[in-house]
Amino acid sequence: MNRENFIDTMNKILKADYGKSMERASAQEKYHAAAKSIMAFIAEDWYHTEVNYEKGKQAYYLSAEFLMGRAFSNNLINLGIYEDVKEVLESMGIEIHGLEEAEEDAGLGNGGLGRLAACFLDSCATMNLPVTGYGIRYRYGIFKQRFEKGFQREEGDPWLRWGDPWSLRRIEDRVTVDFSDGSVQAIPYDMAILGYDTKNVNKLRLWQAEPITEVDFQLFNEQKYDEAVKEKNRAEDISRILYPNDSKKEGKILRLKQQYFFVSASLQDMVRKYKLLHEGSFEVFDQYHAIQLNDTHPVVAIPELMRILVDQEGLAWDKAWSVTVKTFAYTNHTILAEALEQWDCMVYRKLLPRVYQIIQQIDKRFVAELKKQNYSNEKIEKMRIFANKRIRMAWLAIHGCHTTNGVAALHTKILIEQELRDWYKLYPDRFQNKTNGVTPRRWLLLSNPELSELITELLGTKDWIRDLGRLKDLEKYADKQEAMQRFIEIKEAKKRQLAAYIYQREGIEIDPNSIFDIQIKRLHEYKRQMLNAFHILDLYYRLKENPQLDIQPRTFIFGAKAAPGYFRAKAVIKLIHEIAKRINNDPAVNHKIKVVFVQNYGISYAEKLFPAADVSEQISTAGKEASGTGNMKFMLNGTPTLGTYDGANVEIVEEAGEENNFIFGARVEEIETIKAHYDPKVYYESVPGLKRVIDALVDGTLDDDGTGMFRELYQSILEGASWHKADHYFICRDFDDYRKAQEKVDKDYRLPLNWARKCWMNLANSGKFSTDRTIAEYAKEIWHIEPRKI
């Protein structure tokens, strides 16, 4: 990097964009100038990468979410110029930390699904693979979370209010997307995706919805101002907010519009480029395109490609279907029946009539295929794409894709043997497993530079950053006191940093010398934040009964957002806050235990939380978590898992050893055996302390401000509520096992070097959980693409 050029470019951008000198510019303006200077630095490589990738087959990753996180530091690290830029900025009197904090988190995702997509893009670029991401450029993202009297409150998250220096508006590539009630423009914004130690620059293309006509001039002239911009507002609604509430018909229509909008725009984009680069028939379209559907949100791409091939490009149905199946692959991210997306036929038929007709034809032909194979009418009804006036998107995906993959070994096993057993029998060659991963660049190199430096020193190389399996060589240091002592010192430093950050953000003081017990993930019943809360309340009661109870001081840290319409998840947030209020304000116990629920948990907060954790809470009901990736980020930073035998926890234990983790609770096989006759009241009455904590929901101990939230939680456990049976997620069954596992954590933590060894063995055996490994498997076994380095 040329120092003088960088300074000169920054100065020119500040004057051109803001009319300011470096001395007068705000931190926000300096950040934008620095970011745009980096964009200028990579522009030539980005151009050559695009040209290079056009020569052969490419993969396209379609996802409703891309939870990217801040780009500035990550990009500087991947380019290998972080220290250079830091020094240049310091010579100008600018502290790089101030610029890092000026960047908004890109509000393009919600949870693990979106973060996985972001990690995948990092690995694709790092491995020089020709892969483009496609999604929506949400203006407000999911929402900004704040707490008011312990209740979650949602606010708009205007992450684009200052613009986005990492994206280029490519209006020349705009396309039109048609709905039955009108058309909108899809405007692409290209976000640069930088790989580590490579000149290749990949692309995430995000679509923004805009009207065909900005304003109806006639209506405006008639002073009908609202009507004059009605088309503009309805168009912009499509890319306004990630996952709008769909509890009413209007919300459902908007969600379907979002899905079809980005899918149709993306396919039109691919078709346009195909016509520019390849003369001749679309019969070989699949030889140049591999499209991965990230969960069911983009599955409408299957009938949409059929519409394009049949209606616009003139292919016969059978040939078009063959090309479509060979083009698409589908990733299943869930075992939960309620999360296998289904759509009301009437919504599809009204909004997308031609797409609906094509799905009908796909279903009709599929039924005929099953009849030919002598399937019973009962089995056909179970498997057909249409059922009870609804379209089953997961079924459409499995039938319309050449590959369906699960995201962890246990998850795929459950899909094949239970949830998708009939489909596996029909298409045994279509099923694969691709265990998820995380990128070590963001989740170790960026988040934990102190530990990264120690790893590089001990291994004598930085090769581990691109080949995480090299961490296995660290095992030999697990019994060396000097190495373990240095690891302990790093963990202590990260805990102090987190404590300072929490005090700055939340105004809450926590003890860095306490055990940091952390559960950070989306708020959902199956993830069982309520089990964690019940244990904390039980510990509180035991401390009140016996103030001399010998426990290690512990800080319980939660971070999670509940979907705006998810009443019970919001009740759990309120419950944790009520427990925190009781504990944190009680001087008899608050020197031993403390509870913190951080606000607006997101990527930037996560980068502080993962490296500082002593305990990784992964306590979902066995068989419910498809994989998890938070568990991998904790492991990568040297944190043992306290968890059930679920999702990728199974493989974490296989790699690092059960002796270095804390596994508890009923396993999948036991749950399958007991669930038909399960009675939580047996445990409620017999497990010491359990009745007391459950009763606290309704006996006046805890206050839900008259909302009825806690009564509903109580009923969901002991009686059943909504569509759930009583204690649907087996909290009562696992409560005592969980408490015993927590007691073992307390006991083992008292031996610092032994504890450090557990942590170190997790770190040393985390190599499998790199997205580089996952993506290499996708590229070879599903997409059939090769690296193309510029």
pLDDT for the residue numbered 142:
81
Does residue 630 contact residue 447 with C-beta atoms inside 8 Å? no
| Strand pairing report for 167-169 and 58-62 | unpaired
- Whether 89 is in a domain gets the answer no
What confidence score (pLDDT) does residue 662 get?
A: 98
Quick one: which of 517, 493, 479, 494 has its CA closest to 761? 479
Report pLDDT for 352: 98
718 and 590 in a common domain: yes
Instruction: Say yes or no to pLDDT of 544 above 90.
Output: yes
Q: Which of 255, 392, 441, 521 is catalytic?
A: 521
Residues 468 and 373 in one domain: no
Domain count, the chain: 2
For 698, the enclosing helix (H) or strand (E) is none
390 phi/psi in degrees, rounded to 5: -135, 155
- Does the pLDDT of residue 773 top 70, yes or no? yes
Q: What is the spatial distance between Cα 749 and Cα 515, in angstroms, rounded to a whole number?
A: 8
- Buried/exposed 691-702: b ≥16 CB within 10 Å, e otherwise: bebbebbeeebb
Task: Using only the alpha carbons of the chain, give its radius of gyration.
Answer: 27
2 within some domain: no
- One domain, residues 468 and 561: yes
Alpha helices in 507-629 (DSSP H): 529-545, 567-584, 603-612
Residue 151 and residue 571: Cα distance in Å, rounded?
8
Instruction: Tell me, yes or no, if 213 is annotated catalytic.
Output: no
Question: Mean of the per-residue pLDDT values for the chain?
Answer: 96
Q: Are residues 350 and 465 in the same domain?
A: no
Band of residue 84 on the pLDDT scale cut at 50, 70, 90: very high
pLDDT of 338 reads: 66
In sequence order, what are the beta bridge partners of 191? 167, 204
Q: pLDDT tens digits for 560-604? A: 999 998 999 999 999 999 999 999 999 999 999 999 999 999 999
Q: Same structural domain for residues 408 and 471? A: no
Return d(Cα 626, Cα 405) in angstroms, integer: 11
Q: Could you read off the pLDDT of 229-253 as tens digits, one per residue?
A: 999 999 999 999 988 878 788 999 9
Tell me the C-alpha distance between 736 and 232, whole Å.
56
**DSSP reduced 3-state for 111:** coil
Active site residue 629: yes
**Is 99 within the bounds of a domain?**
no
Q: Is the pTM of this model over 0.85?
A: yes
Type of residue found at 193: I
pLDDT at 31 over 80: yes
End-to-end alpha carbon distance in the chain: 19
Concerning whether 522 is annotated as a catalytic residue, the answer is: yes
Beta bridge partners of 333: none
pLDDT in tens, 318-344: 999 999 999 999 999 988 766 689 999
Mean local confidence (pLDDT), 777-786: 98
| 413 and 280 within one domain | yes
CA distance 298 to 288: 20
Residues 204 and 295 placed together within one structural domain of the fold: yes
Separation between Cα atoms, residue 101 and residue 38, nearest integer Å: 17
For residue 715, is pLDDT > 70?
yes
Is-contact 614 517, C-beta < 8 A?
Answer: yes
Q: Is 509 helix (H, G, I), strand (E, B) or coil?
A: coil
Model confidence at 498: pLDDT above 90: yes
Q: Which of 137, 522, 574, 592 is catalytic?
A: 522
φ/ψ (deg, to 5) at 728 = -55, -30
Which bin fits 423, alpha (ψ -120 to 50), beta or left (φ > 0)? alpha
Catalytic residue among 115, 205, 307, 333: 333
Nearest CA among 602, 627, 630, 618 for reference residue 734: 618
Residue 165 tokens read as 């220096």
Question: Are the beta carbons of 81 and 197 closer than 8 angstroms?
Answer: no
CB 412 within 8 A of CB 418: no
**198, 324, 439, 629: which is the annotated catalytic residue?**
629
Q: Which of 139, 434, 527, 561 is catalytic?
A: 527
H or E element: which one contains 261? helix 249-277
Q: Is residue 382 part of a domain?
A: yes
* CATH number, residue 645: 3.40.50.2000
**Per-residue model confidence (pLDDT) at position 62:** 98
In a domain, 100, yes or no: no
Does the structure show a pLDDT above 90 at 724?
no
> C-alpha distances in angstroms, 326 versus 286, 422, 783?
6, 21, 10
Average pLDDT over residues 650-669: 97
Distance CA 559, CA 519 (A): 7
- What 3-state class would DSSP assign to 679? coil
pLDDT band at 458 (very low <50, low <70, confident <90, very high): very high
The DSSP call for residue 518 is E
Both tokens of residue 265? 């725009």
- Specify if 300 maps to a domain: yes
- Residue 702, C-beta contacts closer than 8 angstroms, at least 6 positions apart: 575, 578, 579, 582, 696, 710
List the structure tokens of 81. 């110029």
391 shares its domain with 263? yes
| Residue 340 DSSP SS3 | coil
| Whether the predicted pLDDT of 365 surpasses 80 | yes
Are residues 681 and 564 part of one domain? yes
Q: Which candidate, 399, 130, 429, places its Cα nearest to that of 290?
A: 130
Would residue 423 count as lying in a domain?
yes
Nearest to 331 by CA among 372, 366, 286, 290: 290
Catalytic residue among 139, 289, 624, 633: 633
Q: Is 639 a catalytic residue?
A: no
* Percentage of the chain modeled with pLDDT above 90: 93
* H or E element, residue 403: strand 403-406
User: CA-to-CA distance for 185 and 190, rounded, in angstroms?
Assistant: 16
86 is catalytic: no
Query: DSSP state, 312?
Result: I
User: What is the per-residue burial (b if ≥16 Cβ within 10 Å, else e) of 264-290?
Assistant: bbbbbbbbeeeeeeeeeebeebbebbb
Q: pLDDT value at position 723?
A: 74
Contact 553, 516 (CB under 8 A): no
What are residue 490's phi and psi, to 5 degrees? -65, -45
The two structure tokens encoding residue 59: 């993969």
Alpha helices in 433-528 (DSSP H): 440, 449-459, 481-506
Decide the pairing of beta strands 431-433 and 403-406: parallel
Q: Is 15 a catalytic residue?
A: no
Q: Which residues pair with 289 in a beta bridge?
A: 58
What range does the domain containing 406 cover? 54-69+105-436+776-783
Which of these, 631, 680, 641, 681, lies nearest to 664 by C-alpha position? 641
Residue 720 has pLDDT above 80, yes or no: yes
Q: Average pLDDT, stretch 110-136? A: 96
* Within-domain flag for 525: yes
Domain co-membership, 560 together with 427: no
Is the domain of 345 the same as that of 463? no
Same domain, 155 and 269: yes
